[in-house]
Amino acid sequence: MQSYSTRLFLLAPATVWFAAMLVLPLIVVFVFSFGERAAAGGYVPALTLAQYANLPARFTAFKNTMTLAPLGTLAALIVAYPLAYFLAVRASPKWRTILLVMVIVPFWTSILIRTYAWIFILGGRGIPNLLDMIGIEGVRLINTPLAVLVGIIYGYLPLMVFPIYVSLEKLDKRLLEASADLGARPWRSFLQVTLPLSLPGMATGCMLVFILLMGEFLIPAMLGGGKVFFVGNALVDLFLQSRNWAYGSAVATTLVVVMLVTVTLYMRLMSRGANQRDDVGIF
Amino acid sequence: MSKNDTPITRQKFIEELLRYKRGSISRRHFLGVTGLGTATAVMAAAMPGLRPRPAFAGEIGDRVVLATWPNYHDESNFEAFTKATGASVQVNVFGSNEEMLAKLQAGGSGWDVFVPTNYTITTYVGEDLIEPLDTSKLPNYKADAFEPRFSDAGTVGGKLYAVPKNWGTTGYVVNTKHTKGKALTTWKEFWDITKTDFSGRTMVHDYQLTTIGNALKYFGYSFNSVKENELADAEKLLLEVKPHLFAINSDYQPSLRNGDAWMSMCWTGDGKQLNNDMPEMAYVLGTEGGEIWSDYYAVPKSAPHRDAAYALIDFMLDPAVNAKEVKAHGYPVADSRTNALLPKELLEDPILYPAKELLDALEFGAAATLTDPNRAELLARFKAA
């Protein structure tokens, strides 16, 4: 057993890092959110709630984020699950490694460049052009919410695939055999054995994707043409264009609070679900 | 949609490809999106293979970081500079003066040279972000060679803070294949046609000065207005038009070239570059007025490679180099020595040198617009709407 001081010593680097890189900046943002914009932009100290009172001016950004983030998470889950299932259960071990690498390889390229490629795929000379050739005219994809959703699914897919893959991969195959022995058809075995057991992977994947999506600004800006606006884009604008640090801080603080509340609710829901399953397991 | 595009010839394709190569993907993209210029610099530095390798590390160091505007230089001049001095030029591209100011205010930009527009310089001086230039390090700068109306904004309180790069106008470019033979001439038509025939095809700058300014022009107000009721009118128009826009982005050439967009707010040189390659692209100055501007080279106080900064500015002011720049980007210069080297047809080009009555209606941007909180918030609100 380590002594108290050794433990303290070993924890110190992480604690200092945590304080300096997370807690301190958050405090700064919180304090700034009660300030005012300096004459030429920036921040001057003040004690006012004016910035928070002005929050409705960014209502659409919050609405877009709170719609497209859950929607994108769900869409990524729907696309990722069959893929992860195939990789973990169906693919032969020889192919599995190759296919897994193929999921990862695109991540070696910057997300900017990959998203830029989507501008061409969704632009007038891409998919709409092909549709035009087979007689479907006037389809517009780029700079629409749909384009943003496609970009989100593409960009976040690996983050969703891997946790699900891991939970499916370590799934005890004997449980499926038992299920079959007891007369369950494959579909029923999937619904009652595989799916519940992969729930932790799905929960982790959803959390990873959802939290990152809440702060997303790149994909909406690139594939939404500056028209599909997330809170992330509002923040970029407030700090890098209109230089209203106080208002930007208020928006950022609000986003953090919204995120905390959402994630807490989500975790509550998940742990309750897990408890219920345990109950079922016992009886 | 594809019907509207003539099939691309092989030569055209190669030309376009080269154009995309010239403006690197990450730069364009970043400009379009966020203006996180420093990140581009970090990326470029993180990919040594992409960085032009200096032949030798000279006395001025191995690099100089330039913050500038899209499609605004001749790459071969940078290569020549690197060859001559050993310093490679890292370029960050920005779409608005606000982004540049925000970066410098936040600190740690890493820029050595940047390109502010006339009306912003007093603010940079007031905020103590730029320093007076040492003209002894700029032998190619001859004050009397420049036309005063395009060079006087560089002097603040009797001190020279910035030297002229180019001047130009802000109009709009329209693909006349889609106008049914009608010639557009006003800002009113620009906004009205966007709501009707051009719905989903128009781009506006991600830049408060021009996007708000030209919306103000719809009502005949001053381009520089900071009056609340006039800004409220402009906001109403912008919000009404927003669902009909193709995009809000200051890097509009790619979308206009591939046919996704048909019309965009546009600066002189972009208009010239587009018109050179696609004669159906017409550059229009609204008869109501709009912006005339002059850009400058300046050195931030925080410049890490000060010697390289002066070397680069001096190199660019060399009339022969400057003439090459003009031929590449199509923005006029106010430097009589450079103009003496330019072909006559360029000096008489109606895009570079619009008719007097069109020019007379234009206004230089006013310093107040850069710092006015209402204009800044108006554009942010318009984008977030």
Strand blocks (E) in B176-319: 202-204, 245-248, 263-267, 281-284, 290-298
Which residue of chain B has the CA closest to A225? B247
Q: Specify whether B287 is located in the same domain as B332.
A: no
Residues 298-357 of B with CB under 8 A from A: none
Based on the domain organization, do B255 and B364 belong to the same domain? yes
CA distance A65 to chain B (A): 11
| Contact state of A244 with B242 under an 8 Å Cβ cutoff | no
Q: How many domains does chain B have?
A: 2
Give contacts of A58 with chain B, Cβ < 8 Å: 384
CB contacts under 8 A, B 192-231 vs A, are: 200, 206, 208
Do B74 and B151 lie in one domain? The reply is: yes
Q: Same structural domain for residues B113 and B19? A: yes
Residue A117: its pLDDT value, please?
92
Domain for residue A36, yes or no?
Answer: no
Are B127 and B22 in a shared domain? yes
Q: Which of B2, B99, B379 is nearest residue A240 as measured by Cβ atoms? A: B99
- Would you call B98 and A37 a contact, using CB atoms and an 8 Å cutoff? no
Is B25 a residue whose pLDDT tops 60? no
User: Is B262 touching A (CB cutoff 8 A)?
Assistant: no
**Contact between chains at A233 and B384 (C-beta distance less than 8 A):** yes
- Cα separation, B74 vs A37, in Å, equals 39
Contacts with B376 from chain A: Cβ below 8 Å: 41, 241-244
Query: What pLDDT shows up at residue A270?
Result: 83
Report the pLDDT value the prediction gives residue A137, as an integer from 0 to 100. 86
Q: Give yes or no: residues B276 and B203 share one domain.
A: yes
CATH number, domain containing residue A74: 1.10.3720.10
Within a domain: residue A23? no
* pTM exceeds 0.90: no
pLDDT computed for residue B378 by the predictor? 95
Residue B72, SS3 per DSSP = coil
**CA pair distance A88, A90, nearest whole angstrom:** 6
- From the list A112, A143, A242, the residue facing B376 with the nearest CB is A242
Interface test with A, best of B40, B202, B377 (most A CBs within 10 A): B377
User: How confident is residue B210, by pLDDT bands cut at 50, 70 and 90?
Assistant: very high
**CB-nearest partner of B126 from A40, A61, A133:** A40
Contact flag A58-B384 (C-beta cutoff 8 Å): yes
- Using CA atoms, how far apart are residues B39 and B237, in angstroms rounded to an integer? 34
Residue at A40 is within a domain: no
CA B321 to chain centre: 19
Asked whether residue B237 falls in the same domain as residue B264, the answer is yes
Instruction: List all residues 6 or more positions away from B201 whose beta carbon is below 8 Å from its beta carbon.
Output: B178, B194, B246, B260, B261, B262, B263
Tell me how far CA of residue B195 lies from CA of B191, B199, B370, in angstroms.
7, 5, 28
pLDDT digits (tens, 9 = 90+) for A18-60: 999 999 999 999 999 999 999 888 999 999 999 999 999 999 9
Chain A interface includes B249 (CB < 8 A): yes
B189 to chain A, closest Cα gap in Å: 22
A-chain residue closest to B97, CA distance: A241
Q: In this complex, do A227 and B247 lie within 8 Å of one another by their Cβ atoms?
A: yes
pLDDT band at B355 (very low <50, low <70, confident <90, very high): very high
Using a CB-CB distance cutoff of 8 angstroms, which residues of chain A are in contact with residue B381?
57
Q: Are residues B32 and B97 in the same domain?
A: yes
Average pLDDT of span A131-153:
92
Higher-confidence position of A2 and B260: B260
**Would residue B3 count as lying in a domain?**
no
Q: Cα separations (Å) of A212 from A12, A110, B163?
A: 28, 16, 44
**Closest by Cβ to B260, choosing from A61, A124, A239:** A124
Residue A269 has pLDDT above 90, yes or no: no
Q: Cβ of B2 and A237 within 8 Å?
A: no
- The nearest CA of chain A is from the CA of B288 a distance in Å of 27
Query: A99-132 as b/e, with b when 16 or more CB fall inside 10 Å?
Result: ebeebeeeeeeebbeebbebbebbbbbbbbbebb
What is the per-residue pLDDT for B98? Answer: 93
Nearest CB to A226 within list B208, B248, B376: B248
Put simply, the answer to whether B33 touches A217 (Cβ < 8 Å) is yes
Q: Is residue A142 part of a domain?
A: yes
Chain-chain contact of A244 with B43 (C-beta, under 8 angstroms): no
Alpha carbon of B294 to those of B29, B204, B312: distances in Å? 25, 20, 19
Question: Strands B155-156, B88-93: parallel, antiparallel or unpaired by DSSP?
Answer: unpaired
A224 and A145 in contact (C-beta within 8 Å)? Answer: yes
Domain membership flag for residue B197: yes
State the nearest Cα–Cα gap between A246 and chain B, in angstroms.
12
Reply yes or no on whether the pLDDT at B143 is more than 60.
yes
Domain annotation covers residue B53: yes
Choose the closest CB to B25 out of A58, A113, A242. Answer: A113
Tell me, yes or no, whether A173 lies in a domain: yes
With 80 as the cut, is the pLDDT of residue B15 above it? no
CA B289, CA B223: separation in Å to the nearest integer?
Answer: 8
Residue A69 lies in a domain: yes
Residue of A nearest to B123 (CA): A40
State the virtual CA torsion across B147, B151, B155, B159 in degrees, nearest 10: -70
Hey, what are A3's tokens?
């002594």
The overall average pLDDT reported for chain A is: 91
Both B33 and B131 in a single domain? yes
pLDDT digits (tens, 9 = 90+) for B39-84: 444 444 455 454 444 444 468 899 999 999 999 999 999 999 999 9
Spell out which residues of chain B touch residue A112, defining contact as CB-CB under 8 Å.
Answer: 25-26, 29-30
Compute φ and ψ for A9, nearest 5 degrees: -60, -45
Size of interface A-B (CB pairs under 8 A): 140
- pLDDT attached to residue B165: 97
Better-predicted residue by pLDDT, B331 or A273: B331
Interface mutation target, options A143, A244, A249, chain B, most CBs of B under 10 Å:
A143
CB contact B123 to A (< 8 Å): yes
The whole-number average pLDDT for the span B105-113 is 93
The sign of the dihedral angle between the CA atoms of A150, A156, A158, A162 is: negative
Q: Do B35 and A243 touch (CB under 8 A)?
A: no
Q: Are residues B40 and B147 in the same domain?
A: yes
Tokens matching residue B215: 């919306």
Cα–Cα distance, A56 to B98 (Å, whole number) = 24
What domain range is B302 assigned to? 9-167+294-346
Question: Cβ separation of B380 and A115 shorter than 8 Å?
Answer: no
CATH number assigned to the domain comprising residue B302? 3.40.190.10
Residues 6+ apart with CB under 8 A from A281: none
Assess if residue A245 is contained within a domain. yes
Between A282 and B10, the more confident residue is: B10
Element (H, E) at B364: strand B362-364
B157 with B174, same domain: the answer is no
Residues 22-51 of B with CB under 8 A from A: 25-26, 29-30, 32-36, 43
Give the span between the Cα atoms of B317 and A156, in whole angstroms: 47
Q: Residue B215 domain-assigned?
A: yes
B322 and B244 in a single domain? The answer is: no
A41 falls within a domain: no
Range of the domain at A108: 58-282
* B376/A241 Cβ within 8 A: yes
Give the nearest partner residue to B246 out of A132, A143, A221, using CB atoms. A143
Determine the residue among A120, A230, A240 to mutate to test chain B binding: the one whose Cβ has the most chain B Cβ atoms within 10 Å: A240
Residue of B nearest to A238 (CA): B380
B6 near A CB under 8 A = no
Residue B313 lies in a domain: yes
How do residues B269-304 score in pLDDT, each as one tens digit?
Answer: 999 999 999 999 999 999 999 999 999 999 999 999
Domains in chain A, number: 1
H/E stretch holding B173: strand B162-175
Contact residues on chain B for A61, CB-CB shorter than 8 A: 384
